[in-house]
Amino acid sequence: MLQAQQQAQTTDIESRPAGTVAGRLLRAVRSGGSNSTLLRQIALVSLLLAAIFPLFGGSFFTRLAIEALLFGCIALSVDILLGYAGLLSLGQAAYFGLAAYVAALMYLHVTQSFWLVLLTASASVGVFSFLLGAVAIRAKGVYFALITFGVAEILSKITHNTRAIGGSDGLIGIPVPSIRLLPGLEIEFANNYVFYYLVLGTVCLLYLGTRRILNTAFGSVLRAIRDNSDRVPYLGYNPFWYKLLAYVMAAQIAAFGGLIYPLLRGFVAPHLFGFEVSTKAVVMSLVGGVGTLIGPLMGSVIITFLESVVGSYTERHLILLGIIFIVFVMFLPDGLCGLAQRTFGAGRKVKP
């Protein structure tokens, strides 16, 4: 009786991912949760280290740290989807790239007002992510990953082939504006330290905001979706809207990184949309710990610095990325935060 039923129900009740990479990652995140005291402590220590970093870092590494924080936004956005809604996006760079291009084009041709650029980039990403999300979320399992991957690649190819927006060379010579925070208070991006603390502050706010939003009834629906999406409708929730909201929110966070990127490097290029950036963000989340929010930001710092160091010796830093990915999936699927939780969490339990 059971066997016949099992066979009958697997067609409409999607079986949980078991042997897949996504399945491994998902199982790893179940124990944690962005709210544990230990994760808060890790976040606080990271912030302190980040705050004093420019005192030792010098201008090259300070700028590299800015880049790490910007790519960290994509990693954070991957984590919202994978760690909370159980959706593996292989195309989060699309929103980074989209925001970067919108910002670059606006600065070059339309306006020097940071706020206007912010609004335009955010609105474009909002509309695009809503539409793509509405399609991609209906696709089950691996097809979500494939659609997000495919669309990001298409965007990359389109920019690559469109002369009007720089083609394969991208756009260069983007002017660096100043931001008017308040009337009479202008902030210059040209100063590395001002730039760094501005980005660090904003990323902190994004992290705290995300943590707050996920620690709500909304967040608990996402966790239930991650655990068993098919059961959720029978409890009166329509998973579609929750996933879509998470998707749009994640896209906005990736977009923030893209919005600032042209101001850091002075150029944008088609590779910003590309598979390499998207997968790097997944590896960053994995290294830090999926489902922890702070882990992916740490992961981004680690990977970005590692790449910069290794990149000065060899062109083949992608191999390194691949090796890191395999090692973490196999031996440390809950990432460095997971390791910390097991080490210190277990240590604490021994004491009465």
Ligand X SMILES: Nc1ncnc2c1ncn2[C@@H]1O[C@H](COP(=O)(O)OP(=O)(O)OP(=O)(O)O)[C@@H](O)[C@H]1O
Three-class SS state of 315: coil
Instruction: Decide which of ligand X, another protein, Mg ion, none touches 161; Cβ closer than 5 to 8 Å per partner kind.
Output: none
Q: Which stretch binds another protein (CB under 8 A): 76-84, 218-226, 310-318, 336-344?
A: 218-226
CA separation for the pair 298, 292 (Å, rounded): 10
Q: Is 8 in the site for ligand X (CB under 6 A)?
A: yes
Which structure tokens are listed for 45? Answer: 């220590």
Q: Are 88 and 22 in contact (CB under 8 A)?
A: yes
Q: Which stretch binds another protein (CB under 8 A): 99-107, 133-141, 210-218, 338-346?
A: 210-218
Cβ 18 to Mg ion shortest distance, Å: 23
Q: Is 276 in the site for another protein (CB under 8 A)?
A: no
For ligand X, give the closer residue by CB, 12 or 315. 12
Q: Which residues pair with 186 in a beta bridge?
A: 180
Q: Is 234 in the site for another protein (CB under 8 A)?
A: yes
For Mg ion, give the closer residue by CB, 5 or 37. 5
Q: Taking Cα atoms as reference points, which of 67, 70, 68, 128 lies closest to residue 95?
A: 128
Query: 140 phi and psi, to 5 degrees?
Result: -90, 155
Q: Residue 288 burial (CB < 10 Å; 0-12/13-18/19+)?
A: buried
Instruction: Decide which of ligand X, Mg ion, another protein, none touches 219; Cβ closer than 5 to 8 Å per partner kind.
Output: another protein
User: How many Cα neighbours within 13 Å face the side chain of 142?
Assistant: 7
For another protein, give the closer residue by CB, 5 or 314. 5
Q: Is 238 in the site for another protein (CB under 8 A)?
A: yes
Instruction: Decide which of Mg ion, another protein, ligand X, none touches 235; Cβ closer than 5 to 8 Å per partner kind.
Output: another protein
For another protein, give the closer residue by CB, 30 or 316. 30
Q: Is 237 in the site for another protein (CB under 8 A)?
A: yes
CA separation for the pair 113, 15 (Å, rounded): 50
CA separation for the pair 92, 75 (Å, rounded): 8
Q: By CB under 8 A, name the one of 228, 309, 326, 343 that touches another protein.
A: 228
Q: Which stretch binds ligand X (CB under 6 A): 5-13, 29-37, 132-140, 219-227?
A: 5-13
Three-class SS state of 31: coil
DSSP code for 15:
P
Q: Taking Cα atoms as reference points, which of 169, 124, 147, 164 lies closest to residue 270?
A: 169
DSSP code for 85:
I
Footprint on this chain of another protein (rule: CB under 8 A): 1-2, 4-6, 8-9, 12-13, 27, 30, 212-213, 215-221, 223-224, 227-228, 230-239
Residues in the site for ligand X, rule: CB under 6 A? 1, 4-5, 8, 11-12
